[in-house]
Amino acid sequence: MVTAFRPVTLNEALAIRRTHGTVPLAGGTDLMAAAPSCSPGRGESSPSIMFIGHLTELRQIRMEQGEWRLGAAVTLADILDHARLPAPLRQAVADMASPAIRNVATAGGNICNASPCGDTLPFLYAQAARVLLCDSGNRRELPIERFIIGPGKTALRPDELLTEIVFPAREFVVHRHHKVGARRANTLAKLSFLGLADMDAAGRLSDIRLTFGSVAPTVIRAPQLEQRLCGLPLTEMKHHIDEISAAYDGLIQPIDDQRSTREYRKQVCLNLLRWFLEELIA
Amino acid sequence: MKPPEHTATPGNDIADPVARPDAAAKCAGTARYLADLAVPGMLHARTVRSTRPRARITSRRLPPLPAGFFVVEARDIPGRNRIRMLDDDWPFFAEDIVNHIGEPILLVVGPEAEATAMIASRVIIEYEDLPPILSLDDALAGLAPPLYGEDNCFAEYSFHKGDLPQARRAARQMVKDGFSTGFQEHLYLEPQGVLAVPEAGRLTVYGSMQCPYYVKKAVEQAVGEGRHHVRIVQTVTGGAFGGKEDYPSLLAGQAAVAALKSGRPVRLVLDRTEDIAATTKRHPSRIDFTTFLDENDDLLGMDVDILLDGGAYSGLSSVVLQRAMFAASGVYRVPHLHVHGRVLATNQVPAGAFRGFGAPQAFFAIEMHLENIALRLGLDPLEYKLRHALRRGDRTCTDGLVRGAVRLPEMATRLCEAAGYPAKQAAYTAGQGRYRRGIGLSLCYHGCGFTGQGEELIQGTIALHKRADDAVEIRVAATEMGQGAQTVLPKIVAHSLGIPLDQIHYENPDTDIVPDSGPTVASRTTMIVGGLLREAALDLKRHWQSGRVMDIRRTYHHPPHIHWDQEHFRGDAYPEYAWGVNVVEVEVDLLTGLVRVIKIWAQFDVGAPMDERTLRGQMEGGIAQGLGYALWEKLEVDDGRVQQQRIRDYTIPTFMDMPPVESGSVYNPYEFGPFGAKGAGELTLVGVAPAVAAAVQQAIGCPVDMIPVTPEMILRRIRNRKHAKPDSEIPPESSPRSRSRADT
Amino acid sequence: MQITFELNNETVCLDVDPLRPLLDVLREELGLTGTKRGCGEGECGACAVLVNDRLVNSCLLPVGAVVHGRVMTIEGFRQTGAYQRLAEAFTEAGAVQCGFCTPGMILAAAALLRRNSQPDETEIRAALAGNLCRCTGLNMIVEAVQLAARRGGAPW
Ligand SMILES: Cc1cc2nc3c(=O)[nH]c(=O)nc-3n(C[C@H](O)[C@H](O)[C@H](O)COP(=O)(O)OP(=O)(O)OC[C@H]3O[C@@H](n4cnc5c(N)ncnc54)[C@H](O)[C@@H]3O)c2cc1C
Ligand code: FES
């Protein structure tokens, strides 16, 4: 039987983490599904685990100084229930898994799992979210794109926990989220696209964020390309679409797998990008 | 047309729905499925499977086995290491050669399920790879040594009608078309499982299954004919769809041998990934047509070539092929016909029975082919199809007689009206913008009962047992697997006897009690088994003596007018046909290739419904499964490995994917069916895919010649069309109004 | 590890591996076989139970995560009036065929109705989207939930 810890407070959890380096289990939907026939950690070499999903410190949703702060153990269902959270996030979450999974799966788990098809990630990249990482003495913040290093890899240290996810409480006038999967529910993304945009009074694009999920080891976002569009009058946008599209064509490097093809993923990403930009003009 | 026959209580039509007798226990969770059974001293078995598509096993290395754990393999089989099916090639356990990834090599058996699984994962099998046949193309190329026989062909047949060479000479036009279909997984919600319990001189196998007597014969062969009394008991079965027609025989044989070896009960339940990766699938197909039209553009002759991928073992492939061949020319009158078919062996998961049994492949192909011909001729597909549809008195493809009335024209017309088919057909071809609509139509039939000589070979036997308390027990081997046998068969008996339904008892079959009424397949349960029950019940009624125990048996024989020549495939391939029409409307997102199904309309002629609600369940369920087959259920085998092994990757429709379905049936009783009933279980799936494909084809304006119609394929087609020079391929004309060239 | 939780309105205290899926504990330790194992990967919903009134797939839930929680399986739920309503509606609407999905489906419907006693069709479809059914074609299950909601009258 594997050792399991069930701390009562976050501090206790961090202390356990420091002394035992145990694997945190929030909702467990990734950890448990990873080992279909035998539960995780059953083998002899298995490390201990620590339940963290119940820790109240990790279950808060707060707005502070113009920023949303989501506790790492906030469930996907909590996000859906919280009507004031940004629509694109809630939409991304509504398209994830199924109600029964969303009732236990956590926001922190989706990030720490660092899957290329993690569905909350495109939003977090687009919003330049930061993650708060704590060990028993220190805390540090990392931008999401520095926290996630590659598929299944994060900058989390063995004695740390992800405690909060922070992003500006900033809504965009235009937001489009597309998760393209094999069916309309209960499916992993073949690819996903999120576009956010704001216009100023003069009809110029004042801010734009473009992200693509499931088409590279980590979410694709290219702020320098977005910058090229910012400040453009919408009327001029159509002259730039080809160029922008070509630039993203170079960035999007999906793979072939049983779920879809490289060719399809890339083409649909570019189609959705183009559509988003054309819609902005119209 | 005869009115419905007399009913149990006046004013009470047999079609009026009754509460399912099994619903209460199923809702409450008290129904006992196989995995819910635990008997004292029970051991758990876990399968060690081949990881190579084709190889010689050079060694098997077992980890140290704790006390109480043991292994069961080919050499433990006291009888014959062959599953008794139509042929004799499929072993319970691989001997020295493995022929597909997932093939069972041995069982690890022990007192704890988890430890058993752990040990099984540590068994090391070493192989020497042999040249595999990894696809139909490999099989056709014939480079690797054959897997089966000399020619690697599980079955090859052909049959003729009329004089095709003559039609070829007389033809004004020739149209060629080719289609392909993929694997389909049953994905019944209850994974396969069996429990074998040895008792003195007797061996009982409980299991989730369709065909207790198939299983009995397989187990007898495994444990040695005549050495043990073998008893098979069906447990509540959580869906089957053909997937529990063949495969339970293998599992039961394995568990039986393990139980004999240990003297203890042994339970073998597959986990979902094993079930997807190793159990049988629907046969992938390639179907090619060369069709000849006369000066009026009418069908004059047709040459059809059918190729099925049978996987590693023959199983039921030869009969699947026959059913596909007898559906090859669809519901159409084709005066001159040649149909050739083959099932080839490949080192892939074996293909087997699946609702429709070869017909869904054939109907996808023929319906699309007729659609394409009509569009090329600039004719309305509905009109063109109806113009050639079989009528009473016509000859079927095997020169059998269409005896019953064919109500396709009125069914199709009514349905197309409800769906607004003609207007939409015309409007959608000129679609604009990102989202494009399409509407498609299909006509189909399903031969009821076994194909060809099947019913005569099986000679299904049923019994009614009247108890002293005047309750009547139905004793048949037909199984309830969700389709509603336990609802419908008791109604037939109750209505025939004119006694209340609650006086009829129908337990899950136990081969010690029920005679062999044949397997629960081929849409035969209501028509054939139900028909026998009705005859027996009428007989019982005539001789009814209250308070006395009475037993009645009946054995099936075709009505005397049915003739079949199995050697030349001539005559009545089926005693009767059930008919269907489907209309499907879709919307395709051209940016993503995603298809949204807007609505489905369907009409069926199943003779007479024995229970409206049960029939609707078959219609809705069959349509959903057909939709999955057409659009979402992609199962690929690469290098011999099933790619979509996990349930998350094999995507059957969810609540969010299912469109509204408007379904109904026409009353068209079959003289020899109980209360006029024909078959209904498979028909509802058969015609969905071509209607979907035709709708998508219209929406995107590019040919759809394969299923599943994935978004990947849709975008590829659209892109190729854009890049291709206008004439480099021959898409069906996108507008039925514009006349276009055809190959002449 | 000693694990205490409320199961079908009774307190249970077990000495089990906390990582053992709740499903296995229910079926194997406690003999509650109404909860079904369809996949073991959280994809099919046959193992759905209510934890603190919310729908959860018990195959992926380590039993250690329900400490002090309230678990309701079909065995407990079938004692309620809400169950009676749903079971009647499921039977009448033809929402039961092979039945393997049914206990999970009924609990999914209950979880929905508890939060939203008058759901529209889209809400029903979304709420049941994680429960697969291979037999019925699904629409008849939607109708069952609509029927139950329409009749109402039960303390969902
Ligand atoms: C049926 C099913 C469907 C799914 N569908 C989707 C989908 O559509 N889209 C999608 O993106 N995902 C999907 N997932 C994956 C999964 O549900 C999500 O990634 C979920 O958000 C993970 O959360 P969790 O709390 O369950 O993670 P857990 O399994 O508890 O943890 C995941 C990983 O993160 C680590 N971890 C968790 N919390 C912390 C923390 N606070 N600090 C440090 N490390 C931590 C764990 O140690 C583990 O390595 C699906 C999973 C299943 C089983
Ligand atoms: S009734 Fe069989 S899976 Fe739903």
Secondary structure (DSSP) of B651-698: ----TTTPPPEEEEEE----TTSGGG----TTHHHHTHHHHHHHHHHH
Question: Are C91 and C70 in the same domain?
Answer: no
Angle between helices B359-377 and B381-388 (to 10 degrees): 120
Secondary structure (DSSP) of B374-428: HHHHT--HHHHHHHHB--TT-B-TTB-B--S---HHHHHHHHHHHHTHHHHHHHH
- CATH classification at residue C57: 3.10.20.30
Question: Are C61 and C102 in the same domain?
Answer: no
| Minimum distance, in Å, between the CA of residue C64 and any CA atom of chain B | 19
Indicate the helix (H) or strand (E) that contains B197: strand B193-199
CB contact under 8 A, C61 and A51: no
Among A16, A112, A163, say which to mutate for ligand 1: greatest number of ligand atoms within 8 Å of CB.
Answer: A112
Q: How far apart are CA A163 and CA B187, in angstroms?
A: 40
CB contact under 8 A, C140 and B622: no
- In this structure, the number of other CB atoms found within 10 A of the CB of residue B74 comes to 17
B100 in Cβ contact with B349 (< 8 Å): yes
Q: What is the DSSP letter of B732?
A: P
Q: Which of residues 608-637 of B touch C (CB under 8 A)?
A: 613-614, 616-617, 619-625
| Minimum distance, in Å, between the CA of residue B524 and any CA atom of chain A | 34
> Which residues, given as ranges, of chain A have pLDDT below 70?
1, 35-46
Q: How far apart are CA B594 and CA A178, in angstroms?
A: 12
Query: For ligand 2, which residues put their CB under 6 angstroms from it?
Result: B 189, 239, 482; C 96-101, 133-136
The tokens of B469 are what?
Answer: 């308390």
Q: How far is the CA of A106 from the centre of ligand 1 (A)?
A: 6
- How many domains does chain B divide into? 3
Question: Are B244 and B389 in the same domain?
Answer: no
Question: Are C58 and C7 in the same domain?
Answer: yes
Residues of A in contact with C1 (CB under 8 A): 1, 4
Task: Indicate the SS3 state at residue B572.
Answer: coil
> For residues B571, B574, B578 and B582, what is the CA-based torsion angle, rounded to 10 degrees?
-80
The answer to the question of residue B158 being in a domain is yes
Burial of A255 (0-12, 13-18, 19+ CB in 10 A): middle
C78 in Cβ contact with B25 (< 8 Å): no
Indicate the helix (H) or strand (E) that contains B364: helix B359-377
**Among the listed residues B578, B598, B579, the one whose alpha carbon sits nearest the alpha carbon of residue B587:** B598
CA distances from A92 to A106, A124, C127 (A): 14, 11, 16
For the stretch B151-206, pLDDT in tens is 999 999 999 999 999 999 999 999 999 999 999 999 999 999 999 999 988 999 99
**Which pLDDT does position B723 carry in this prediction?**
73
The answer to the question of residue C155 being in a domain is no
CB contact under 8 A, B24 and C35: no
**Which pLDDT does position B206 carry in this prediction?**
98
**Alpha helices for A193-261 (secondary structure H):** 223-229, 234-237, 241-251
CB-based contact, B243 to chain C, within 8 Å? no
Q: How far apart are CA C76 and CA A54, in angstroms?
A: 24
**Which pLDDT does position B628 carry in this prediction?**
98
Task: Indicate the SS3 state at residue B522.
Answer: coil
Q: Topology of domain A4-168, per CATH?
A: 3.30.465
> For residues C47, C48, C50 and C56, what is the CA-based torsion angle, rounded to 10 degrees?
110
Domain with C6, as residue range(s), is 2-76
- Strand-strand pairing, B266-269 and B595-605: unpaired
**Which pLDDT does position B728 carry in this prediction?**
35
Domain with B704, as residue range(s), is 358-451+570-739
Mutate to test the interface with C, among A6, A22, A103, A179 (most CBs of C within 10 A): A103
B519 in Cβ contact with B213 (< 8 Å): yes
For the stretch B80-123, pLDDT in tens is 999 988 888 999 999 999 999 999 999 999 999 999 999 999 99
For the stretch B580-618, pLDDT in tens is 999 999 999 999 999 999 999 999 999 999 999 999 999
Q: What is the DSSP letter of B184?
A: B
Question: Are C22 and C48 in the same domain?
Answer: yes
Sign of torsion, CA B722 B723 B726 B730?
negative
CB contact under 8 A, B186 and C134: yes
Question: Are B169 and B219 in the same domain?
Answer: yes
**Among the listed residues B361, B77, B344, B332, the one whose alpha carbon sits nearest the alpha carbon of residue B218:** B77
Question: Are C71 and C128 in the same domain?
Answer: no
Question: Are B298 and B202 in the same domain?
Answer: yes
CB contact under 8 A, C35 and B29: yes
**Which pLDDT does position A39 carry in this prediction?**
42
- Domain boundary residue among C76, C92, C122? C76
- Domain boundary residue among C76, C95, C127? C76
CB contact under 8 A, C134 and B25: no
Question: Are C12 and C69 in the same domain?
Answer: yes
| Minimum distance, in Å, between the CA of residue C10 and any CA atom of chain A | 22
Q: How far apart are CA B392 and CA B412, in angstroms?
A: 16
Question: Are B319 and B185 in the same domain?
Answer: yes
CB contact under 8 A, C99 and B271: no
Sign of torsion, CA A53 A58 A63 A66?
negative
Question: Are B590 and B641 in the same domain?
Answer: yes
Q: How far apart are CA B491 and CA B4, in angstroms?
A: 14
Q: How far is the CA of A118 from the centre of ligand 1 (A)?
A: 9
The answer to the question of residue B129 being in a domain is yes
The answer to the question of residue C24 being in a domain is yes
CB-based contact, C48 to chain A, within 8 Å? yes
Among A16, A22, A29, say which to mutate for ligand 1: greatest number of ligand atoms within 8 Å of CB.
Answer: A29
Q: How far apart are CA B436 and CA B701, in angstroms?
A: 10
Task: Indicate the SS3 state at residue B301.
Answer: strand
Q: How far apart are CA B647 and CA B633, in angstroms?
A: 11
| Minimum distance, in Å, between the CA of residue C99 and any CA atom of chain B | 5
- β-partners of residue C54 are C51
Cβ neighbours of residue B241 closer than 8 Å, sequence gap 6 or more: B186, B188, B354, B355, B625, C134
Question: Are B238 and B183 in the same domain?
Answer: yes
The tokens of B211 are what?
Answer: 């065909």
A105 in Cβ contact with C54 (< 8 Å): no
B530 in Cβ contact with B610 (< 8 Å): yes
- β-partners of residue B105 are none
Question: Are B345 and B364 in the same domain?
Answer: no
Residues on chain A bordering chain B, Cβ-to-Cβ distance under 8 angstroms: 36-38, 42, 178, 180, 182-188, 258-261, 263-264, 267-268, 271-272, 275
Question: Are C102 and C133 in the same domain?
Answer: yes
By C-alpha distance, the chain C residue nearest B617 is: C136
Q: What is the pTM of this model?
A: 0.96
- Architecture of A174-281 per CATH? 2-Layer Sandwich (3.30)
Least reliable range by pLDDT among A24-38, A149-163, B37-51, B520-534:
A24-38
Specify the residue for token string 């473009």: A210
Question: Are B198 and B317 in the same domain?
Answer: yes
Task: Report the greatest alpha carbon distance in chain B.
Answer: 83
- Reply yes or no on whether the pLDDT at B284 is more than 70: yes
**Which pLDDT does position B10 carry in this prediction?**
41
Residue B488 identity = V
Question: Are C88 and C132 in the same domain?
Answer: yes
CB contact under 8 A, B484 and C97: yes
The answer to the question of residue C55 being in a domain is yes
Ligand 1 atom closest to the Cα of residue A96 is 8
- Reply yes or no on whether the pLDDT at B727 is more than 60: no
Please, how many CA atoms are within 13 Å of residue B217, restricted to the half-sphere of its CB?
13
Question: Are B315 and B428 in the same domain?
Answer: no
Task: Indicate the SS3 state at residue B564.
Answer: strand
The answer to the question of residue B10 being in a domain is no
Question: Are B342 and B379 in the same domain?
Answer: no
The answer to the question of residue C156 being in a domain is no
Residue C156 pLDDT class (50, 70, 90 cuts): confident
The tokens of A220 are what?
Answer: 């694709």
Q: What is the DSSP letter of A177?
A: E
- How many domains does chain C divide into? 2
- Domain boundary residue among C35, C60, C76? C76
Question: Are B304 and B369 in the same domain?
Answer: no
- Extended beta strands in B104-167, E state: 104-110, 124-129, 153-161
Give the chains touching B; criterion: ≥3 Cβ pairs < 8 Å.
A, C
Ligand 1 atom closest to the Cα of residue B648 is 1
The mean pLDDT value for B627-649 works out to: 97
Secondary structure (DSSP) of B126-141: EEEE-----SHHHHHH
Question: Are C72 and C43 in the same domain?
Answer: yes
Question: Are B480 and B415 in the same domain?
Answer: no
Sign of torsion, CA A170 A171 A176 A181?
positive
Mean pLDDT of chain B: 94
B498 in Cβ contact with B456 (< 8 Å): no
Question: Are C62 and C103 in the same domain?
Answer: no
- Reply yes or no on whether the pLDDT at B730 is more than 80: no
Residues of A in contact with B121 (CB under 8 A): 37
Task: Provide ipTM, 2 decimals.
Answer: 0.99
**Which pLDDT does position B122 carry in this prediction?**
97
Residues of each domain in chain A carrying CATH 3.30.465.10: 4-168
- CATH classification at residue B251: 3.30.365.10
Q: What is chain C's Cα-based Rg?
A: 15
B246 in Cβ contact with B316 (< 8 Å): yes
The answer to the question of residue B141 being in a domain is yes
Going by CA atoms, what residue is nearest to atom 3 of ligand 2? C133
